[in-house]
Amino acid sequence: MANVAVIGAQWGDEGKGKVVDWLASRADIVVRFQGGHNAGHTLVVNGETYKLSLLPSGLARGKLGVIGNGVVIDPEALLAEIGRVRGQGLTVTPETLRIAENAALILPLHGALDRARESARGARKIGTTGRGIGPAYEDKVARRAIRVCDLAEPDTLSAKLDELLLHHNTLLAGLGAETFTKEALLARLLELAPQILPFAEPVWERLNEARQAGRRILFEGAQAVMLDNDHGTYPFVTSSNTVSATAASGTGLGPQAVGFVLGIAKAYCTRVGSGPFPTELTDDTGTLLGDRGHEFGTVTGRRRRCGWFDATLVRQAVKVGGVQGLALTKLDVLDGLPEIKVGVGYRIGGELFRRLPAAPGAQAAAEPVYETLEGWAESTRGARSWADLPAAAVKYVRRIEELVEAPVTLLSTSPERDDTIMVRDPFAD
């Protein structure tokens, strides 16, 4: 059986939650493989809305959920999220959720440092969520992270906190922020340990056994390729690698296990926070897209910046992200527009580029080159087959396929789970 990895092909918030939920009904296991609780997936299942940040979306479909070692976990946030969805009727137990024992933890000091740094940047802030994801990944790379497995060893935990506080309290004091005491942190972690440890295991072992048994695994990415720490619009990126290759390293499976890579992209483009956005619209059309698309971040609550579809950027994401097919979402938001523009390149200092350069100055100076397409007056909302779409909408989708050099595998025409046109089954061998 083929596995499927779902990643964002723009700057996040492309509608991965709905697509993962739609695919989860046909998977056996759904795995989160990177990011932290800075990600947000909104699912609507049987009229109930679930807002998930750490929990794999498959839990809403009764599937086994796995949080891989590539995720950084805030234990307080995780337990709060579990309590919230349990209150909505979902079953979350060690039988339905497993957590990698080697996943790194986010502690209160990480969030404090994140916010203090962002405040110190002033007008040059990056736009982080302030939830400590970046500092937690820093500690992981620096080999001082506290991991889930450490909660089972109080002596190990105590020794690691000494090193952690030596580093973080020095930074916090230098930034004029409040410092932390070992006693309070140790006591809280020991209090949380019996609530977290029953979920912990070497998930790489379970996933490898599941793969050998022919079970379908759905890898659920967070954020998107253009927020990848290597390939995104650095430094306005997240703190992990978001490309499909991370599905292997972030779970303990080999790269051959990743399977079909599905990239999610809106039929237009949005971005939350700071950073370059060449096709951004600050006019009435941008406002219209935001209003129609209900463009508010699940995690941040901030209004998303909106603009035309950037085919150059998505083509780049397709290449570096290993995307084999696109799921195009929110096509219905474009209904009624007399004409629709698509970004097909950039002019930077008079030179034409068919890619977004890595240098921040060049990214900020990029001026979009547009191709104008005919809009459509008819509604696409709720369409479930190509025959339900206006001819101009079909032409728009086909043109996007040509420009990004990837086929549209799924087409979403409303937030409802079943309002989806499937061109190819991503789980097909």
By three-state DSSP, how is residue 50 classified? strand
Q: 56-65 in b/e burial notation, b at 16+ Cβ within 10 A?
A: bbbbbbebbb
Helix (H), strand (E) at residue 341: strand 339-348
pLDDT of 129 reads 79
Question: Which domains are delineated in the chain?
Answer: 4-100+199-260 (3.40.440.10), 108-196 (1.10.300.10), 266-422 (3.90.170.10)
pLDDT tens for each residue of 400-424? 999 999 999 999 988 877 888 988 8
Write the burial class of residue 164 (CB in 10 Å: 0-12 exposed, 13-18 middle, 19+ buried): buried
Averaged pLDDT of the chain: 92
Mean pLDDT of 172-200: 95
Between CA 189 and CA 147 the distance in angstroms is 11
pLDDT of 301 reads 58
Between CA 322 and CA 238 the distance in angstroms is 19
Strand locations in 87-129, DSSP E? 97-100
pLDDT tens for each residue of 245-304? 999 999 999 898 999 999 999 999 999 888 999 999 999 999 999 999 888 765 555 688
Which are the catalytic amino acids? 13, 41
pLDDT surpasses 60 at 1: no
Q: Which residues contact 184 (CB under 8 A, 6 or more apart)?
A: none
The CA-based angle 129-130-131, given to 5 degrees, is 90
By three-state DSSP, how is residue 43 classified? strand
Between CA 208 and CA 214 the distance in angstroms is 10
Share of the chain above pLDDT 70, in %: 98
Long-range contacts of 182-187, Cβ-Cβ distance < 8 Å, separation of 24 or more: 182/158, 185/107, 185/108, 185/109, 185/161, 186/154, 186/157, 186/158, 186/161
Phi, psi for 35 (deg, rounded to 5): 85, -170
Residues facing 265 on adjacent strands:
328
User: Is 180 within 8 Å of 165 (Cβ atoms)?
Assistant: yes
pLDDT of 314 reads 97
367 — pLDDT class (breaks 50, 70, 90):
very high
pLDDT of 25 reads 85
* β-pairing verdict for 48-52 and 64-67: unpaired
pLDDT of 313 reads 97
Q: Which residues contact 14 (CB under 8 A, 6 or more apart)?
A: 8, 224, 264, 265, 266, 329
* DSSP state for residue 143 in the 8-state scheme: T
pLDDT of 331 reads 95
Mean pLDDT of 307-333: 96
In Å, how far from its chain's centre is CA 104?
18
Q: 318-328 in b/e burial notation, b at 16+ Cβ within 10 A?
A: bebbbbbbbbb
Between CA 341 and CA 375 the distance in angstroms is 9
Mean pLDDT of 188-201: 97
Q: Which residues contact 130 (CB under 8 A, 6 or more apart)?
A: 111, 114, 115, 118
Between CA 409 and CA 420 the distance in angstroms is 10
Helix (H), strand (E) at residue 278: none
pLDDT tens for each residue of 33-73? 999 998 777 777 777 788 888 999 888 888 999 999 999 99
Helix (H), strand (E) at residue 31: strand 29-32
Q: Give the CA radius of gyration of the chain.
A: 22
Mean pLDDT of 187-193: 97
| Residue among 297, 218, 311 nearest 262 (CA) | 218
pLDDT tens for each residue of 125-148? 777 778 889 999 999 999 999 999
Ranked by mean pLDDT, which of 22-31, 102-111, 273-282, 411-420 comes out on top? 102-111
Length of the chain, please?
429
By three-state DSSP, how is residue 267 classified? coil
Per the listing, tokens 């998505």 go with 314
DSSP notation for 157-196: HHHHHHHHHHHHHHHHHHTT-----HHHHHHHHHHHHHHH
Share of the chain above pLDDT 90, in %: 75
